[in-house]
Structure formats: C-alpha cells, structure tokens
C-alpha cells in the first residue's frame, strides 16, 4: 500500500507514525505549514511536496486528509483530479464533504492524540465508512494492519460517537484540570490524585460506569455538597459546574 498524508497536526502525526510502523509506505506529506510537514515526513521516511497537485498526480492509492474540520472542503477540491481513494479522519464531518472525488471514505480513529505522546494503535478503535464496497474493502485492509478494532460506522452514527467522545475524554480532562487548579491554589500537588484518575478510568474498562458511581452526590450527602460549594465561592463557574453535575448525579439515585 502507498499512502499520502495531508496535514501535520496531532492526528496526522500519530496516524502517520502508526502507518509507518506497520510497514506502509508513506509517499508524501503536505501541510499548510511546510516546516511541520517536514518534521512529520522525517519521522516516517517520507518526503514533503510543495503542492497538492503533486499528490493528485502521484501513485498513492489513498490520500488521508487529517486537518481541521473547516479546512477539509477547500483542500479536497484541489484533489478533484486524483483517481485514488480520499478519506478524512474527522468524527464530526460527513463523508459527503469529499464528494468532489469519486472514491471516498472516512477513517476515524476514536482516540485523543498529542504530537508528543505516541499511541499504541493496536487498541485504538477505527471507524470506517466508504461510498463503495470496493473502497470499504481497501480501507478495512489498511485498518486491520493498525488495529484489531475496526468498526463500520455511517456518518450519522459517527456524529454520535464524536459527541460521546467529548463526554468521555474532553470534559473529563478539563475536570482533571480544575482538580489540579484547586489543589495548586492550596499548595497541594496534582500527583496526589493521579492514582485516583487512573483507577476511575480503569474501573469502567470492564464495568458499567452507572454501577461505579461514588461520591457525595450519588449518596445525596447534602452536608458535604454544601461544604464543597462554599469552598468554590471564589470560582463561580466551578461552583456552577459542581452544582449542575451534583444535581444530575443525585437524580440517578432514586433511593
């Protein structure tokens, strides 16, 4: 297989590295930022190209567009003469955004990526969609080289998955951040709650989170909740968040 990558951000970098480690040839990397493209290309034994025309005219069997959602449409228009498969990696965008090309699909890895933190793709679910069974077959062959978890997911379902991922990843990370800020304001180290964060995530790897809920809200421990709200008096947004979270959690417990 012979792949080209458009983009040089978190997803492009981690996906590019994973493809490279799976012995897949990366023909070229293009990015709006040539320096970033070069950094990525050097890590995956590839080269950068100066224009998307070079990718259009290349022998790549597939072009993976891994850029911000609002840049996809403009970029794919520059690939309209390309004869291979074009996919994007976005959870939020429909496949049809690529329809200026004829062989299109989506290659959506459900994971949180950072440039500096390498991911073991073996455990990353990859959600595939394609506009023909032939293209789907190709995407599936590519995906199984990276992971054992391949799902077929249409554009509507993918939007739901992306929404769930915001609740499962982006929001929890921000709560970790608030926890860290609360601690540091009182000269306490974030390190002290890291094992708790890890265990909270580990607990739901086999169980259902509904059965794992602990804390003052599910116990309807009003004294503790009121004390906590008082401690947050100088941070109205955190207080509002505390109150809203606690209210919805307490409703779960119909005791």
For its own copies, the binding residues in 143-172 under the rule CB under 8 A are: 149, 151, 153, 157, 159-172
Q: Indicate the residue among 34 and 172 with the shorter CB distance to its own copies.
A: 172
Q: Indicate the residue among 42 and 163 with the shorter CB distance to its own copies.
A: 163
- The angle at the Cα of 219, spanning 218 to 223, to the nearest 5 degrees, equals 115
- Smallest distance, Å, CB 28 to its own copies? 26
| 85 close to 61: Cβ distance less than 8 angstroms | yes
d(CA 210, CA 59): 50
- Phi, psi (degrees; rounded to nearest 5) at 147: -145, 160
Q: Is 1 in the site for its own copies (CB under 8 A)?
A: no
* 3-class DSSP assignment, residue 109: strand
- Rule CB under 8 A: which of 181-220 touch its own copies? 182-183, 186, 188, 190, 192-205, 207-210, 212-219
- Rule CB under 8 A: which of 22-51 touch its own copies? none
**Who contacts 208 (Cβ-Cβ below 8 Å, separation ≥6)?**
none
**Who contacts 99 (Cβ-Cβ below 8 Å, separation ≥6)?**
131
Q: Indicate the residue among 59 and 214 with the shorter CB distance to its own copies.
A: 214
> From start to end of 20-125, where are the E strands?
25-30, 62-65, 85-88, 103-109
- Smallest distance, Å, CB 212 to its own copies? 6
- Rule CB under 8 A: which of 59-78 touch its own copies? 68-70
For residues 225 to 254, the per-residue mask of contacts with its own copies, x marking binding by CB under 8 A and - elsewhere, is --xx--xx----xx-xxx-xx-xxx--x--
Distances (CA, A) of 235 to 23, 185, 189, 241: 51, 12, 20, 10
- Smallest distance, Å, CB 113 to its own copies? 7
**Who contacts 76 (Cβ-Cβ below 8 Å, separation ≥6)?**
65, 86, 88, 97, 98, 100, 101
- Rule CB under 8 A: which of 82-101 touch its own copies? 92
> Do the strands 150-152 and 25-30 form a parallel or antiparallel pair, or are they unpaired?
unpaired
In the list 10, 43, 58, 78, the residue contacting its own copies (rule: CB under 8 A) is: 10
- Rule CB under 8 A: which of 102-121 touch its own copies? 110-114, 117, 119
Q: Indicate the residue among 134 and 202 with the shorter CB distance to its own copies.
A: 202
């Amino acid at each position: 297989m012979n792949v080209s990558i458009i983009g040089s951000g978190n997803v492009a970098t981690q996906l590019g590295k994973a493809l490279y480690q799976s012995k897949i040839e990366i023909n070229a990397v293009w990015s709006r930022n040539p320096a970033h493209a070069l950094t990525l290309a050097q890590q995956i034994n590839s080269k950068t190209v100066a224009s998307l025309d070079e990718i259009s005219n290349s022998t790549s069997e597939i072009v993976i567009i891994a850029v911000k959602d609002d840049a996809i449409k403009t970029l794919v228009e520059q690939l309209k003469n390309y004869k291979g498969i074009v996919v994007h990696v976005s959870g939020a965008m429909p496949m049809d955004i690529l329809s200026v090309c004829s062989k299109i699909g989506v290659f959506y890895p459900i994971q949180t990526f950072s440039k500096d933190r390498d991911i073991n793709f073996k455990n990353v679910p990859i959600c595939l969609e394609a506009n023909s069974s032939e293209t789907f077959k190709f995407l599936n062959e590519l995906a199984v080289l990276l992971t054992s978890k391949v799902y077929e997911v249409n554009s509507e379902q993918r939007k739901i998955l992306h929404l769930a991922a915001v609740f499962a990843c982006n929001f929890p990370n921000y709560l970790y951040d608030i926890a860290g800020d609360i601690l540091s304001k009182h000269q306490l180290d974030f390190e002290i709650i890291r094992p708790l964060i890890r265990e909270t995530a580990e607990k739901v790897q086999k169980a259902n989170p509904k059965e794992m809920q602990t804390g003052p809200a599910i116990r309807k421990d009003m004294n503790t909740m009121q004390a906590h709200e008082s401690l947050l008096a100088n941070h109205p947004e955190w207080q509002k968040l505390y109150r809203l979270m606690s209210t919805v959690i307490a409703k779960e417990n119909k005791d």
